[in-house]
Amino acid sequence: MICDVEALAPRNAVTRTIVGSLAILILLVPARAFGQGGPPLITDDPDTPGPGYWEINLAAIVEQSLSERRTEQPLADINYGVGRRIQLKFEIPWLHVREHGESAGTGPGNADYGVKWRFLGEEGKRVAWSIYPPLEVNSSKTMLNKGLVADGPRFLLPTEFTVEMGHIEINGEVGRNVVRGGDDEWIYGVSTEITVRRGLELLGELHGEQSRESPVLLTAAGTAVHGLHDDRLRFRL
């Protein structure tokens, strides 16, 4: 289980708390191992599905602040492997936004189109490295006019790396988000996955976004749900 909690930002910043996130991987054709970057994590990793393989993630994400409650249900993250090192990506959420004192707004959120190229290493190797530039565009003029989504387009220029040591994998990502008509920002994150046994992994993440206005920091906490009583991981932050 992973709970993402946003750290307290300065008083003049707009802050959000991620009060719950649940990701259900429902389709993988054909079945194979794959990386854990992407929903429900914000930080991506260098892994790709592999030649001719699909990786489809569905997530339900809830965000709560003093001014609004926002859900992405579902968030569809669709990926396809072109060769061993290239991944094509399409991602779009279905939003339900309720602002304080206002009626709820529902509709498609902004869509992401991306291409990942892993130019060094691969899953199972000690080190892997990739670039993964996605383009975020508005998919609904109605949602934009209501102020429920950010004005696009936005172009992210990130790079991702993985260091794998036994059953522990550490992923890092850093990049620059170029925003048309707004303030550009830096994004950065570190995530980890620990293989407990076949079919069960523990995930954790630290993610930040830095613009001229305010920093945002996300933290993650978790615990093991299986294992010998004396050796079982009790808490990870």
b (16+ CB within 10 A) / e for 123-146: beeeebebebbbebebbbeebbee
What is the mean predicted confidence (pLDDT) over 126-133? 92
Model confidence pLDDT, tens digit, residues 53-66 = 999 999 888 888 88
Domains of the chain: 3-221 (2.40.160)
Output b/e per residue, 35-45; b: 16+ Cβ within 10 A: bbbbbbbbbbb
The string of pLDDT tens digits covering residues 70-119 is: 999 889 999 999 999 999 999 999 999 988 778 888 999 999 999 999 99
| Closest by Cα among 63, 25, 22, 11 to 218 | 63
Query: Average pLDDT of 122-150?
Result: 89
pLDDT at 123 > cutoff 80: no
Would you place residue 216 in the very low, low, confident or very high pLDDT band (cuts 50, 70, 90)? low
pTM over 0.85: no
pLDDT at 125 over 70: yes
Residue that wins the pLDDT comparison between 93 and 31: 93
pLDDT, tens digit, 9 for 90 and up, residues 88-99: 999 999 999 988
**DSSP conformation class of 222:** B
Q: Residue 37: its pLDDT value, please?
A: 63
Closest listed residue to residue 46, CA positions, set 196, 139, 173: 173
| Interval 172-195: pLDDT, tens | 999 999 988 778 889 999 999 888
